[in-house]
Amino acid sequence: MPKKILRVLYTLLSLGIPGLGQAALGDVRRGIYIFLGAFILAGLSVFTAAQRARFPEQVYGLSAAALLRLGLASLVIFLVVRWVYTMLTRRLAQDEFTQRIAEGLFVALVVVLFSLVGPSLIQRLLPEEALKQLYTTLLLGMAVVLAWLWWWNARDAWNLAGQQETNWNGFIALVMVGTVILGTRIVGIDLPKAIREYRETGRILGDILWPWRAAFDYKATELRATAKIQAPCPPGSTPPPVNEPTEEGPWVVVEPTCGELSTRDEKGKLTYGTLLHIRGGGFVPGKKVKIKWENPIGNEFTPRGLGPTEIRVGPDGTFTSELYIPDVVIPTFAKGPQIHKLHVVQPGALKFTGKLSREMKLALQAMLESIMIGLMATFAGMLFAVPLSFLAARNLMFTLRTSPQGLVGGVLGLAAGGWVGWQASQRVALWLGGLEKAPVAVAFFGFLLVGGGALLGFRLLGWALDRLSQHLPGWANAAIRYGGFALIGAAMGWPLGLGYAHGILGIVWDPEEVAAAAGDIARIGAGLGALAWGYLAYRWGNSGFVPIGQWVYTVTRLILNVVRSIEPLIWGLVGVIWVGLGPFAGFIALTIHTIAALGKLYSEAIESIHPGPIEAIQSTGANRLQTIMFAVLPQVLPHFTAFSLYRWDINVRMSTVIGLVGGGGIGFLLIQWIRQVQYEHAGLAVWLIAITVSTLDFISASVRKRLV
Amino acid sequence: MLRVEHLTKVYENGTVALRDVSFTVEEGEFLVIIGLSGSGKSTLLRCINRLIEPTEGRIIWNDIDITALDEAGLRRVRREIGFVFQEFNLVERLPVILNVLAGRLGYVNPWWSVLYYFPKGEHQRALAALETVGLADKAHNRASDLSGGQKQRVGIARAIIQEPKLLLADEPVASLDPVLAHSIMGYLERLNQEKGVTILCSLHYLDLVQRYATRVIGLREGRIVYEGTREDIRRMTDEEFKQIYGEEAQRLGG
């Protein structure tokens, strides 16, 4: 029977390498899926197991071998069990339903058996040192899954060779179970630990959940009486006078007022000093008083093991007690008689003063700071995002085209105008007194002159060359095109070449070689750039249009997307490096992120407007700016407002955490209090954040609903 | 006089909207373009003021080659060509008066106008234009508060205030009911007869064509397949009708 032999052969192929049999049978895709599934799961198991070891590279081989052994053992066990199972169910079950039930029960039985026998089985199968390094539970689970996968794969090959369908569900379920087991291990999910240690969290969580006690100041209303005692008591010294009972308020009388300290030897054995007799009165009847000792340098403590320290006051407000003078360590330079104090303290209720605590005031102040950071960042972001969003709107930019000659003129004008602007700004800066003296004015005029010059040059020369090209013969236009494009390409290639020479690709050169070769490499770069742009010039021809708007759109979008994908917390680090710790850094971080996020949202709002009004306004002879003001802006304004509000909402939320990296606001206080283990104060901050954010969320949501 | 010579428009997706269209419109004519949806009527009208860039051919208006103009020149020509749209294309969130004043954007100081400031004279002109279309009392309502017919009248006022020599109307009544249609077409007719504005209008209903057109051209799949006067429309044979509207089309009434 050669057919049967072939079937066995394919199955063996799959047993050797999962999926090979299927692939050989012609179903390459199925084979690849199975192989990848098994390979990735097995690889991850080995990797995860080995990661626990100190020297992973030593363990890879070991754990792989161990895993293989385990897998084979599991397979054998599984086959035997499976055989028993089929024998059993065939006898037992008649209809499908009973069979399903039996199947389920059997699986449960196997799982229970495995978890009971498994660990000892592993000890038999694995060498001692490997066992130490492997996470046994994981390995056990994974071994079962992998063995099962192997078996499924072999059976699949067997079925496929016999032209029968196997259900994919088994494979998918196995891969998922394996992934969950591995994920549990990699994430470090440890349920027993979570259950064991929840109580500790409860205490802290309580502080955070209800921190309002810390929001106010309280006055302690305690009754306190003090007696002075001298120790030691050398003859001839004058001890402090004995107190007299008073009519008003608490009093305490201690006798004698002079005595010897208790002492403790090296082994910790205590020798009692003088016994003090204590009488007191004028306290609240029926409640306890506490005895406290204050040493000569002013430290108060409760003496232990020298007499009662908590005494119940009698119905007439008096009490009596006794106490040995405690063992107070006196430094050698302070030998001689010292005055100690004995306090009798009766704590009363805390009295609510109605004043906010210092921490609450701080938190409120910081919260205000956070809201302001969010607000200012939103304003500043809007300012920059509005013009940018017009550059990133597909429908506005894609109509912007120019002739190749116009592009050449524009780029030349851009460079020339920028250069003239730069020169002018240098003069202006000198006249203003330099960057140090008038930073804002210098920067402002610098941007204005360079940007304005570049823009003006771009418009003027672009327009001039575009007009000129209509009156020039074809060969002259071609000359402008090729020459100009080559120049642009060279200008772009030059810095790339130079950068390559200086190792922007991570190639480290000998500095001397760089100095010698940089010029050549830059020239090569320029040449390559010129060639590339020369090809563009060839492709577009004289009459072709350069989609310059599309370029601007693509570049703007790219920048916005990159900036947006970097979280504000990371921009916060940049801000802190730039302007130092504080709310200004947070403001910078949020502004940068807001520009990118709002720029994208705004531009999408612009893209979704009706094109009709644009056509209508254009056909009245309006220019580009008029068209934007009349046809675009009225349509997008409600959306802009809604997005800005939404962003303010986000910014306030972000500003509460920007302080974590030093960006000011309430986050700064929060992280400080958490690190000082002042959970009650941290709770105050958390509550303030929650209240503010949810209020703002509600307000902005209801306003937005009315807008759009 | 408007001369369209060998006009061809191929869209970027390869659709050929106009194929070698040539015709002439004399000063003061009321030319109606008929044809099925997608026959190229809208494209033709939009090519004339270059809302859509023609692929080939020339459009010459009073000896100016519109297709060769640069942006500034195009704006100067556009301000003398009114355009009335099927969907009115008002700026819904702006008041009616600003929608009408927008018609003067090509004439006024552009820097002032972007701040929505127009000189007093322009305001009076706009109110007069609104008076003409009977909407003077709605001047300060938001455009979105108006009904369809009112919106189209504002659209016409916006065109009137341009003091156009040529008016392009792209199915100006297709979104309105028949009674309103006659009132709107009446405004166009008055512009044509009283101020001598040349009108190019695309229309759906043949009864409207017979009532208002001085001359008719028929477009089918981007080609001119019919040319005739108002009387020719009345005498139009079934064969001619099918030439414009296709074999499956049925003639109803008129």
Q: Render pLDDT for A606-645 as a digit per residue (tens, 0 to 9).
A: 999 999 999 999 999 999 889 999 999 999 999 999 999 9
pLDDT value of residue A59: 52
ipTM score = 0.93
Q: Mean pLDDT check: name the lowest of A139-148, A204-213, B46-55.
A: A139-148
Encode pLDDT of B28-66 as tens digits. Answer: 999 999 988 888 999 999 999 999 989 999 999 999 999
pLDDT value of residue B108: 92
Average pLDDT over residues A176-195: 76
Query: At residue A420, does pLDDT exceed 90?
Result: yes
Q: Mean pLDDT check: name the lowest of A100-114, A143-157, A264-278, B51-65.
A: A100-114
Instruction: Determine contact, residues A459/A413, Cβ cutoff 8 Å.
Output: yes
For A309-456, list the strands marked E by DSSP.
310-312, 319-324, 338-346, 350-356
- Asked if B102 lies within 8 A of A630 by C-beta distance, the reply is yes
Would you call B78 an interface residue with chain A, using a CB distance cutoff of 8 Å? Answer: yes
Give me the phi and psi of A251, to 5 degrees please.
Answer: -140, 160
Among the partner-chain residues B49, B110, B168, the one whose CB lies closest to the CB of A623 is B110
Kindly report the nearest CA distance between residue A701 and chain B, in angstroms: 22
pLDDT value of residue B254: 43
Q: Mean pLDDT check: name the lowest of A85-89, A227-231, A237-241.
A: A85-89
- Asked if A621 lies within 8 A of B85 by C-beta distance, the reply is no
| Segment holding A642, helix H or strand E | helix A633-658
Peptide bond just before A511 cis, omega within 30 deg: no
Residue window 105-144, chain B: list those with CB within 8 Å of chain A.
105-107, 110, 113-114, 116
Query: At residue A281, does pLDDT exceed 50?
Result: yes
Among the residues of B49-177, which ranges form H helices? 71-78, 96-101, 110-113, 120-132, 148-160
Q: Mean pLDDT check: name the lowest of A121-130, A477-486, A626-635, B158-167.
A: A121-130
Tell me how many residue pairs between chain A and chain B have CB atoms under 8 A apart: 88
Task: Look over chain A and give the mean of its residue pLDDT values, rounded to a whole number.
Answer: 84
| Segment holding A226, helix H or strand E | strand A223-231
Instruction: Determine contact, residues A178/A147, Cβ cutoff 8 Å.
Output: no
Instruction: Determine contact, residues B214/B181, Cβ cutoff 8 Å.
Output: no
Pull the structure tokens for residue A170.
Answer: 């088994």
Would strands B166-170 and B198-202 be described as parallel, antiparallel, or unpaired? parallel
Class of the CATH-defined domain B1-80+165-175+198-254: alpha beta
Percentage of residues of chain A with pLDDT beyond 70: 88
Kindly report the nearest CA distance between residue A592 and chain B, in angstroms: 29
Binned at pLDDT 50, 70 and 90, residue B107 comes out as very high
- Name the closest residue on chain B to residue A466, using Cα atoms: B70
Residue A403 bridge partners (DSSP)? none
Binned at pLDDT 50, 70 and 90, residue B116 comes out as very high
Among the partner-chain residues B46, B78, B89, the one whose CB lies closest to the CB of A613 is B89
pLDDT value of residue A590: 95
pLDDT value of residue A123: 65
Domains delineated in chain A: 2-189 (no CATH), 222-348 (2.60.40), 358-395+548-708 (1.10.3720.10)
> Taking CB atoms and an 8 Å cutoff, what residues of chain B touch A625?
110, 114
- Name the closest residue on chain B to residue A613, using Cα atoms: B89
> Taking CB atoms and an 8 Å cutoff, what residues of chain B touch A617?
91, 102, 105
pLDDT value of residue A65: 67
Encode pLDDT of A318-346 as tens digits. Answer: 899 999 998 887 776 777 788 899 999 88
CA of residue A673 relative to chain centroid, distance: 19
Nearest CA among B101, B131, B96 for reference residue B117? B101
Kindly report the nearest CA distance between residue A636 and chain B, in angstroms: 10
pLDDT value of residue B199: 95
- The listed range with the strongest mean pLDDT (A296-305, A316-325, A342-351) is A316-325
Instruction: Determine contact, residues A63/A130, Cβ cutoff 8 Å.
Output: yes
Instruction: Determine contact, residues A324/A275, Cβ cutoff 8 Å.
Output: yes
Binned at pLDDT 50, 70 and 90, residue A507 comes out as low
Would you call B40 an interface residue with chain A, using a CB distance cutoff of 8 Å? Answer: no
Binned at pLDDT 50, 70 and 90, residue A5 comes out as confident
- Name the closest residue on chain A to residue B115, using Cα atoms: A629
- The listed range with the strongest mean pLDDT (A21-25, A56-60, A172-176, B185-189) is B185-189
Encode pLDDT of A381-403 as tens digits. Answer: 999 999 999 999 988 888 888 88
Q: Mean pLDDT check: name the lowest of A239-243, A383-387, A497-501.
A: A497-501
Average pLDDT over residues A210-221: 84
Among the partner-chain residues B78, B91, B114, the one whose CB lies closest to the CB of A621 is B78
Instruction: Determine contact, residues A662/A572, Cβ cutoff 8 Å.
Output: yes
Which carries the bigger pLDDT value, residue A84 or residue B79? Answer: B79
Which carries the bigger pLDDT value, residue A252 or residue A231? Answer: A252
pLDDT value of residue B89: 93
Query: At residue B252, does pLDDT exceed 70?
Result: no
Binned at pLDDT 50, 70 and 90, residue A64 comes out as low
How far lies A390's CA from each of A74, A544, A609, in Å?
A: 65, 25, 13
Average pLDDT over residues A357-384: 93
> Taking CB atoms and an 8 Å cutoff, what residues of chain A touch B78?
618-621
SS3 A342: strand
Would strands B166-170 and B81-84 be described as parallel, antiparallel, or unpaired? parallel
- The listed range with the strongest mean pLDDT (A205-209, A661-665, B18-22) is B18-22
Lookup result for tokens 């955490």: A657
**Residue spans per domain, chain B:** 1-80+165-175+198-254, 89-163
Nearest CA among A60, A15, A20 for reference residue A36? A20
> Taking CB atoms and an 8 Å cutoff, what residues of chain A touch B46?
615
CA of residue A395 relative to chain centroid, distance: 36
Pull the structure tokens for residue B153.
Answer: 């009248």
Kindly report the nearest CA distance between residue A447 and chain B, in angstroms: 23
Among the partner-chain residues B78, B110, B168, the one whose CB lies closest to the CB of A620 is B78
pLDDT value of residue A93: 58
Average pLDDT over residues A121-148: 66
- Asked if B76 lies within 8 A of A467 by C-beta distance, the reply is no
Please give the span between the terminal C-alpha atoms of chain A, in angstroms, as a whole number: 76
User: CA-CA distance, A295 to A331, in Å (whole number)?
Assistant: 12
- Name the closest residue on chain A to residue B50, using Cα atoms: A619
Query: At residue B76, does pLDDT exceed 80?
Result: yes
Which carries the bigger pLDDT value, residue A303 or residue A80? Answer: A303
Query: At residue A278, does pLDDT exceed 50?
Result: yes
Would you call B90 an interface residue with chain A, using a CB distance cutoff of 8 Å? Answer: yes
CA B12, B18, B19, B23 dihedral sign is negative
Pull the structure tokens for residue B34.
Answer: 């008929």
- Asked if A619 lies within 8 A of B103 by C-beta distance, the reply is no
CA of residue B110 relative to chain centroid, distance: 25
Encode pLDDT of B179-229 as tens digits. Answer: 888 899 999 999 999 999 999 999 888 888 888 899 999 998 899 988 888
Which carries the bigger pLDDT value, residue A7 or residue A602? Answer: A602
pLDDT value of residue A131: 52
